[in-house]
Amino acid sequence: MQTNKNVVLHVADVHKHFGGLHALSDIDLQVKEGETHAIIGPNGAGKSTLLNVIIGRLAPSSGAVVFDGNVLTGRKPHEINQLGVARVFQTPEIFADLSVIQNVMTPAFAKRDGAFKINMFSAVENERAIREEAEHMLEDVGLIDRRETHAGALSRGDKRRLELAMCLIQKPRLLLLDEPTAGMSRHDTNTTIELLKKIKSRGMTKVIIEHDMHVVFSLADKITVLAGGRIIAEGAPDEVRGDQRVQEAYLGGAH
Amino acid sequence: MSNFMSRKDLTLFLGFAAVVLLLPILATPFGAAYPDLLQRFMIFGIFAVGFNILFGLTGYLSFGHAAFFGVGSYAAMWSFKLLSLNAIPAILFAVVMSGLFAVAVGYVSLRRSGIYFSILTLAFAQMSYNLAYSVLTPITNGETGLRMTLSDPRVIDGLFTSASGAPVPSLFGMSLSGWNGFYFTAIFLLATFFLSMRISNSPFGMMLKGIKSNQNRMNYTGFNTRPYTLTAFIISGMLAGLAGSLLVVTDPLAGAERMQWTASGEVVLMTILGGVGTLVGPVIGAWLIKYFENIFSSFNDNVLNNFYSFLPDGLREVVVAVSGKFVGEGWHLSLGLLFVLIVVFLPGGIMEGVRRIGARFGHMRKGSKSSARVGATAAVG
Amino acid sequence: MFEVLFLQFLNGLDKGSAYALIALGLTLVFGTLGVVNFAHGALFMIGAFCAVTFRQLLTLETVTVDPNNLSPWGTPVEIRAPLVQAWFGDFGAILVNYSVPLSLLLAIPVMLLIGIGMERGLIKYFYKRPHAEQILVTFGLAIVLGEIIKAIFGPNPIPQPMPTDLRGAADIGAWLGMAPGVITYPLWRLVYFLFSAGIIAAVFAFLQFTTFGMVVRAGMADRETVGILGINIDRRFTIMFGIAAVVAGMAGVMYTPLLPPNYTIGMDFLVISFVVVVVGGMGSLPGAIASGFLLGILQSFASMTQVKAIFPGIDQIIIYLVAVIILLVRPRGLLGRRGVMET
């Protein structure tokens, strides 16, 4: 039944080796529109390498990454973003010196004005549409009361919410999340999962790189399991959970 | 007006304009109310405000900005020599030339960030300085410096009048010496300040602050940061050139020492002292340093003896001898000390001090609510 | 032609040695403490003024006036008796003659104290602050130190004579089997080069073969881990700062006969040394040494008249030009590591 949906991201037969070390082999995966696709695996499985290949930071030794008909390999980060890919980092990357509302307005400008525009003849406070949009976004993630706070002063959990808001305001076609709950307290992890679930209902396509199984099983529609740089299993959460190889390579080994 | 400028900004600008235009009166109690010095207040105010657009907003610490100042000076001087004694073409020519130079230097230097950027700008400035002293002597007149002479061609002026008397820059025939010169430069400072306010409050300025805060995030947010930084670099280089040309307008001699790295260091100092990234801070920093340089450095032992006349003789001699090291020839020592103290205790400069004091008063008045934002004032870097 | 090039190569060595020594200290400080120290040139200057002070102390004189002994102009003759000679006789005269190298004895403890004092008194508060603030505070400190020297010794350069035995030239060409007089090289420059090479070797040996050095190197690579091992890395780093100060100071002492020091000498060398460090690669000791000599020698070649005839003014800008090219082609310098000073 999912076959009718468009493939948004296609990692086509990607290999990546560093010298003699094969970090990724035969990686082929398709992410369909509206799907939350998780990529999991034990440490050293090649998750970060794969993410870097997807985002164009590393060139694959062979194969290609195609997003919505565009090859991503070799493009600069801002070009990839302008194509409609937003990214959440392992440690939240925000503008610590700007206020919370400015943090969210900035990506809205990138969406509206493109990669470069000398826009110095209007004042930020007169950009009402963008401000309203940003406030709306902050309400969504529960940071509206802190809109004038310096972002650097936020707690880690709040920084993650802010970063999500910064990505979501661009209405990306694809959202990449790199271990969104890494290093978080149980409480922050739970609130972040709640927030991600809330977003999920909007039908945005997401790729989550994660090693916390708890996070993955509560969010993902489809899971790809990596080990030793190869895909060892792929399928719906329940299928993957029951897969013998996964339990050996991942659950048995790591936990 | 509301669409163009918020009430708060308008108040700030009008307040600033009032202070600048009333300086001849306001500076009197400090013994600074003479045109030569106040002209330099304006000129170095422009230099520092321009520098702040690069360093304060964008976070790129250039150690070679004096090069653009110097290019502006030489360009203006050549306009005076070849075209006309009128200041307007000289200033335009200077701004264009320094802008072109900034395009070249910025294009190369901005390929790197952090200290590598600082060293690249320093390298370009030192090259300019060394060349101005050596092979470029036909353009710069080397150590002697470039000045106007009666025999200069001045083609535009030659069309209208025949030269008479010693050549001095003018504005359509109006003399620019003394107070005229002050008001002339003051208008440029106000325009520069206005531009800096506009940039700081605009989306463009917010992007620059974003680059300073987290360039990586800016890239992944969809911004091509290089043209943003290059634009900031060029604007700031053109303003440095403007300042350089105005210095030649008021004091018609262009010398290579204006391009030396010490001159680049001075504008960094002005900006830090006043408050990096703030609107008014760099101007205050520039004024304070020029004030120290001119007033403080003229102190001598006689002045000090009078100042300490209440002390007994023996003690007075010691005190005069010690404090004599900090004034006159040694004013740089005071400057260096002040600089260290500011960076150690008040990295946000004088403006942060003002804010802290303001917050303390606000704190007393309003209770404990308002202190939350003070702790998070923008840091240097 | 070979002789000419070889001579230029030699001429580049002494300047290259000075660059390398200053860059070595800068890199030690940056690599261990992570601090960009713009006051490092001031340490070179203070070293030079240790030599000046030492000589002034050695040449203190008593002046006696004998009212009965009149000069042909009818004024009493002043008899100046250098104290050192009065006390030690000929040995005293030798001391004065060798004042420059001997002042190392004064410079080493003084520089160590100044270095440690600087680190404990100011620098240590800046470990966690942004590089821009480190640059600014040390820049301010450099101004202060320069001005203090100016207040004490005045603004003019103070020449320091080299020992009489080392004033001549070494006939290096003859040593290498060429005709005598083809390649001669001032002895003191040779001394300076050998001295520098010795210091560089000593610093490397110290880092390589002592436990202290091993810990410091480990700390340079990964400060946190070494800290976790329970080793007091901070104290060692303080001492490293002292050592860097001593290296800069010694470089300054020995350079005085080649360039009479004044209060700006520190900044003059610092600007170039920073270029040297960046070209070598921030944080790389071998890089600092290599690029120090490389730039010194290039500068020497660029000042040949034949070269200047083709590229006018090249001698003035060669160092900066090379810096620009290297930074653009090799962003991390010749031997720089990834991730140093990039955020």
Tokens of C28: 């030690």
Smallest CA–CA distance from B380 into chain C, residue: C133
Contacting A residues, span 14-33, partner chain B, CB-CB under 8 Å: none
Query: Is the model's pLDDT at B257 over the cut of 50?
Result: yes
| CB of B245 closer than 8 Å to CB of B91 | yes
Tokens of C180: 């005598």
Task: Inspect the interface and report whether the beta carbons of A126 and B225 lie closer than 8 Å.
Answer: no
Q: Using CB atoms, which residue from B201, B221, B379 is nearest to A106? A: B221
CB-CB neighbors (< 8 A) of C331 in chain B: 112, 116
Confidence band for C230, pLDDT divided at 50, 70 and 90: low
| CB of C107 closer than 8 Å to CB of C160 | no
Alpha helices in chain B (DSSP H): 7-21, 23-26, 35-52, 66-82, 87-109, 114-133, 137-140, 155-160, 178-201, 203-213, 215-220, 225-250, 261-274, 281-295, 301-307, 313-324, 331-345, 349-366
Give the separation between CA A178 and CA A186, rounded to whole angstroms.
18
Q: Using CB atoms, which residue from B112, B131, B134 is nearest to C331? A: B112
Instruction: Say how many domains are in chain C.
Output: 1
Smallest CA–CA distance from B329 into chain C, residue: C151
Query: Is the model's pLDDT at B373 over the cut of 50?
Result: no
Query: Is the model's pLDDT at B376 over the cut of 50?
Result: no
Query: Is the model's pLDDT at C247 over the cut of 80?
Result: yes
Selection from A191, A196, A190 nearest residue A177 by Cα:
A196
Compute φ and ψ for B150, nearest 5 degrees: -65, -30
> Which of A116-120, B129-133, B183-187, C227-231 is predicted with the least confidence, judged by mean pLDDT?
C227-231
Tokens of B261: 């790295």
> Which of B125-134, B186-195, C155-164, C217-226 is predicted with the least confidence, judged by mean pLDDT?
C217-226
**Within an 8 Å CB–CB cutoff, is residue A82 touching chain B?**
yes
Question: How large is the average pLDDT for residues C35-45?
Answer: 90
| DSSP 3-state of A98 | coil
β-bridge mates for residue A235, sequence order: A223
For the stretch B276-333, pLDDT in tens is 999 999 999 999 999 888 877 777 777 777 777 777 887 887 877 777 777 777 777 8
Query: Is the model's pLDDT at B183 over the cut of 90?
Result: yes
C183, with CB counted inside 10 A (0-12, 13-18, 19+), is buried
**Within an 8 Å CB–CB cutoff, is residue A147 touching chain B?**
no
* Selection from A18-22, B86-90, B141-145 with the highest mean pLDDT: B86-90
Tokens of B376: 């998070």
Output b/e per residue, B57-80; b: 16+ Cβ within 10 A. bbbbbbbbbbbbbbbbbbbbbbbb
Confidence band for C223, pLDDT divided at 50, 70 and 90: low
For the stretch C92-122, pLDDT in tens is 788 888 888 999 999 999 999 999 999 999 9
Confidence band for B222, pLDDT divided at 50, 70 and 90: very high
For the stretch A219-234, pLDDT in tens is 889 999 888 888 988 8
Top-confidence residue, C259 or A44: C259
What are the residue boundaries of the structural domains of chain A, listed by start?
A: 2-254
Please identify which residue in the block is written with the tokens 């634009």. B231
User: What is the residue-averaged pLDDT of chain B?
Assistant: 86
Give the separation between CA B165 and CA B150, rounded to whole angstroms.
8
- Non-local (6+) Cβ contacts of A166 within 8 A are A94, A103, A104, A106, A107, B217, B221
Residue type at position A25: S
For chains C and A, having 3+ Cβ pairs within 8 Å is answered: no
Q: Is residue C172 part of a domain?
A: yes
**Residue C186 pLDDT:** 87
Superfamily classification of domain A2-254: P-loop containing nucleotide triphosphate hydrolases (3.40.50.300)
Question: How large is the average pLDDT for residues A209-224?
Answer: 84
Distance between C93 CA and the closest CA of chain B, angstroms:
35
Q: Is residue C66 part of a domain?
A: no
Give the separation between CA C227 and CA C219, rounded to whole angstroms.
8
Query: Is the model's pLDDT at B74 over the cut of 80?
Result: yes
CATH of domain B12-298: 1.10.3470
The question of ipTM being above 0.85 is answered as yes
For the stretch C21-35, pLDDT in tens is 989 999 888 877 788
CB-CB neighbors (< 8 A) of B57 in chain A: none
- Non-local (6+) Cβ contacts of C304 within 8 A are C4, C8
Alpha helices in C281-313 (DSSP H): 285-302, 305-310
Count of residues making up chain A? 255
| DSSP 3-state of A169 | coil
Distances (CA, A) of B189 to B181, B194, B196: 12, 8, 10
Give the separation between CA C13 and CA C297, rounded to whole angstroms.
6
Q: Which secondary-structure segment (H or E) carries C76?
A: strand C76-82
Question: How large is the average pLDDT for residues A84-113?
Answer: 94
CB-CB neighbors (< 8 A) of B336 in chain C: 140-144, 146-147
CB-CB neighbors (< 8 A) of B264 in chain C: none
Task: Inspect the interface and report whether the beta carbons of B224 and A98 lie closer than 8 Å.
Answer: no
Task: Inspect the interface and report whether the beta carbons of B61 and C132 lie closer than 8 Å.
Answer: yes
Choosing among C29, C305, C327, which should be mutated to test the B contact, i.e. which has the most B CBs within 10 A? C327
For the stretch A143-155, pLDDT in tens is 999 999 999 999 8
Top-confidence residue, B112 or B160: B112
For the stretch B28-57, pLDDT in tens is 888 888 899 999 999 999 999 999 999 999
What are the residue boundaries of the structural domains of chain B, listed by start?
A: 12-298, 299-338, 346-381
Count of residues making up chain B? 381
Give the separation between CA B253 and CA B88, rounded to whole angstroms.
17
Task: Inspect the interface and report whether the beta carbons of B118 and C135 lie closer than 8 Å.
Answer: yes
Question: How large is the average pLDDT for residues B100-116?
Answer: 92
C129: containing domain: 2-58+106-329
Give the separation between CA B76 and CA B246, rounded to whole angstroms.
8
**Within an 8 Å CB–CB cutoff, is residue B144 touching chain A?**
no
β-bridge mates for residue A222, sequence order: A37
Confidence band for C151, pLDDT divided at 50, 70 and 90: confident
DSSP string over C212-258: HHHHHHHHHH-HHHHHHTT--HHHHHHHHHHHHHHHHHHHHHHHTTT
- Predicted model pTM: 0.87
**Within an 8 Å CB–CB cutoff, is residue A129 touching chain B?**
no
**Residue B164 pLDDT:** 60
Give the separation between CA C170 and CA C184, rounded to whole angstroms.
5
Q: How many CA atoms lie within 13 A of C336 on its CB side?
A: 24
Query: Is the model's pLDDT at B266 over the cut of 80?
Result: yes
**Residue B163 pLDDT:** 54
Q: Using CB atoms, which residue from C132, C271, C327 is nearest to B381? A: C132
Question: How large is the average pLDDT for residues C257-268?
Answer: 87
**Within an 8 Å CB–CB cutoff, is residue B183 touching chain C?**
no
**Residue C106 pLDDT:** 93
C21, with CB counted inside 10 A (0-12, 13-18, 19+), is buried
- Non-local (6+) Cβ contacts of C263 within 8 A are C45, C146, C147, C149, C150, C153, C155
**Within an 8 Å CB–CB cutoff, is residue B268 touching chain C?**
yes
For the stretch C292-343, pLDDT in tens is 999 999 999 998 888 888 888 888 888 888 888 888 888 778 887 665 544 4
Distance between A184 CA and the closest CA of chain B, angstroms:
21
Q: Is residue C85 part of a domain?
A: no
Task: Inspect the interface and report whether the beta carbons of C147 and B127 lie closer than 8 Å.
Answer: no
**Residue C166 pLDDT:** 84
Helix orientation angle between B203-213 and B225-250, rounded to the nearest 10 degrees: 110
**Residue B104 pLDDT:** 95
| CB of B96 closer than 8 Å to CB of C296 | no
Confidence band for C229, pLDDT divided at 50, 70 and 90: low
Top-confidence residue, A97 or B167: A97
Q: Which secondary-structure segment (H or E) carries A23?
A: strand A21-32
> Which of A157-166, B353-362, C165-174 is predicted with the least confidence, judged by mean pLDDT?
C165-174
Top-confidence residue, A60 or C85: A60
Confidence band for A4, pLDDT divided at 50, 70 and 90: low
**Residue A97 pLDDT:** 92
Q: Using CB atoms, which residue from B4, B223, B372 is nearest to A110? A: B223
**Within an 8 Å CB–CB cutoff, is residue A155 touching chain B?**
no
Smallest CA–CA distance from B328 into chain C, residue: C151
CB-CB neighbors (< 8 A) of B205 in chain A: 120, 124
Choosing among C139, C276, C338, which should be mutated to test the B contact, i.e. which has the most B CBs within 10 A? C139
Query: Is the model's pLDDT at B161 over the cut of 80?
Result: no
Q: Using CB atoms, which residue from A115, A120, A125 is nearest to B222? A: A115
DSSP string over B121-151: HHHHHHHHHHHHHTTTHHHH-TTT-B---TT
| CB of C259 closer than 8 Å to CB of C17 | no
**Residue C11 pLDDT:** 86
**Residue B135 pLDDT:** 85
A135, with CB counted inside 10 A (0-12, 13-18, 19+), is middle
Query: Is the model's pLDDT at A68 over the cut of 50?
Result: yes
